[in-house]
């Protein structure tokens, strides 16, 4: 088995254990449509699916690839080091976008923050910054607002907007 296959198997086992632990969370009579076990079970499902995909991917790659050519002598080819550095910097950029989202969500509120997150992530991934990308991010933010706040009744941070608009309302 390859290293990725082993990692996938370990994470799949962890996902199953995590799901059973989440299943043991008692349901309170005060719970609404989303119980206390809802998020942990969703995370367990997501981890299980990603672990299964990693296993399938590693097995598919193992079948397709043939024996690797002999590696170049040490010091002759530094392109893989540069590629690794680029990958790490790309990951750091995604992390910075996520941290930025967490820093602004208490002030801007969920809807504007998630719009900004979607827009920043799309542009960082290579989409052109423009009206189409902005419209998709705005529609996505509105969709997630209605999905979580209106449909699932999950309170999300409103930000400073209600305080700013309250003098206008009354």
Q: Give residue-wise pLDDT tens across range 81-123.
A: 777 888 888 889 999 999 999 999 888 888 899 999 999 999 9
Do residues 62 and 101 both lie within one domain? no
Q: Is residue 138 part of a domain?
A: yes
Domains in the chain, number: 2
Instruction: Please tell me the predicted confidence (pLDDT) of residue 169.
Output: 53
What's the whole-model pTM score?
A: 0.52
Q: Are 105 and 113 in contact (CB under 8 A)?
A: yes
pLDDT in tens, 14-73: 999 988 888 887 777 666 666 777 778 888 899 999 999 999 998 888 777 644 555 544
Q: Is residue 31 part of a domain?
A: yes
Count CB-CB contacts under 10 A for residue 115: 21
Instruction: Please tell me the predicted confidence (pLDDT) of residue 67.
Output: 46
Q: Is residue 82 part of a domain?
A: no
Instruction: Please tell me the predicted confidence (pLDDT) of residue 34.
Output: 66
Instruction: Please tell me the predicted confidence (pLDDT) of residue 17.
Output: 92
Q: How confident is the model at residue 10 (pLDDT cuts 50, 70, 90)?
A: very high
Helix (H) or strand (E) run with residue 152 in it = none
Instruction: Please tell me the predicted confidence (pLDDT) of residue 163.
Output: 63
Q: Is residue 3 part of a domain?
A: yes
Q: Is residue 165 part of a domain?
A: no
Q: Is residue 81 part of a domain?
A: no
Do residues 41 and 101 both lie within one domain? no
Q: Is residue 6 part of a domain?
A: yes
Q: Is residue 85 part of a domain?
A: no
Instruction: Please tell me the predicted confidence (pLDDT) of residue 26.
Output: 77
Instruction: Please tell me the predicted confidence (pLDDT) of residue 82.
Output: 75
What is the mean pLDDT of the segment spanning 140-149?
A: 89
3-class secondary structure, 159: coil
Q: Which domain holds residue 28?
A: 1-66
Do residues 62 and 10 both lie within one domain? yes
Residue (of 137, 151, 152) closest to 39 by Cα position: 152
Instruction: Please tell me the predicted confidence (pLDDT) of residue 24.
Output: 82
What is the mean pLDDT of the segment spanning 8-18?
A: 92
Do residues 58 and 104 both lie within one domain? no
């Amino acid at each position: 088995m390859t290293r990725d296959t082993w990692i996938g198997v370990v994470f799949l086992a962890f996902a199953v254990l995590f799901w059973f632990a989440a299943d043991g969370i008692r349901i309170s009579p005060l719970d609404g449509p989303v119980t206390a076990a809802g998020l942990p079970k969703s995370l367990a499902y997501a981890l299980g699916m990603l672990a299964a995909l990693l296993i399938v991917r590693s097995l598919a790659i193992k079948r397709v690839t043939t024996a690797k050519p002999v590696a170049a002598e040490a010091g002759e080819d530094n392109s893989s080091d540069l590629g690794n550095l680029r990958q790490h910097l790309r990951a750091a950029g995604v992390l910075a976008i996520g941290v930025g989202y967490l820093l602004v969500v208490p002030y801007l509120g969920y809807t504007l923050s998630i719009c900004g997150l979607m827009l920043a992530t799309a542009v960082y991934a290579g989409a052109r910054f423009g009206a189409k990308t902005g419209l998709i991010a705005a529609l996505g933010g509105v969709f997630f607002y209605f999905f979580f706040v209106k449909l699932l009744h999950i309170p999300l941070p409103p930000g400073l907007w209600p305080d700013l608009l309250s003098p206008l309302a009354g």
